[in-house]
Amino acid sequence: MEAIYHYIADELQSPETAMNHFEAIAEGIKTLEIFPERCAIVEELLNLDIKVRRLLVKNYSVFYRFDKDTVTILRVLHQSSSLDRLLFEIGNKSD
């Protein structure tokens, strides 16, 4: 999330937008404390028997795992990013 903030604030020269996005993503992640199973499982990984969920916040996808009482954030990516690399990375880490 820090990289997203710095990209928007520094590269796009929009610190206010950067803070708005940062806060929205943080608030979205916080809601997972109450309803962690509300987001859909990423079907492309389900075939590999990997349960990763995706929370959509603004133009970003928050990929996470939920196991018992623990939510683990794996990645936060802009929705225009290719999922191929993420799917490969997550698939390899599941071993």
**Domain regions of the chain by residue span:** 2-93
Among residues 78, 91, 72, which one has the least CA distance to residue 5?
A: 78
Partners of residue 41 on adjacent β-strands: 53
Q: Comparing 2 with 59, which gets the higher pLDDT?
A: 59
Stretch 64-79: mean pLDDT, rounded? Answer: 90
In this prediction, residues 79-87 reach a mean pLDDT of 70
**Arithmetic mean of pLDDT, 15-37:** 92
Q: Measured between alpha carbons, how far is 71 from 81 in angstroms, rounded to an integer?
A: 23
pLDDT reported for residue 54: 92
Average pLDDT value over all residues in the chain: 84
| Fold classification of 2-93 (topology level) | YaeB-like fold (3.30.2310)
pLDDT band at 91 (very low <50, low <70, confident <90, very high): low
- The answer to whether residue 24 scores a pLDDT higher than 80 is yes
Q: 59, 79 in Cβ contact below 8 A? A: yes
Nearby residues of 47 by Cβ (< 8 Å), 6 or more positions away: none
Number of neighbouring beta carbons within 10 Å of residue 25 = 20
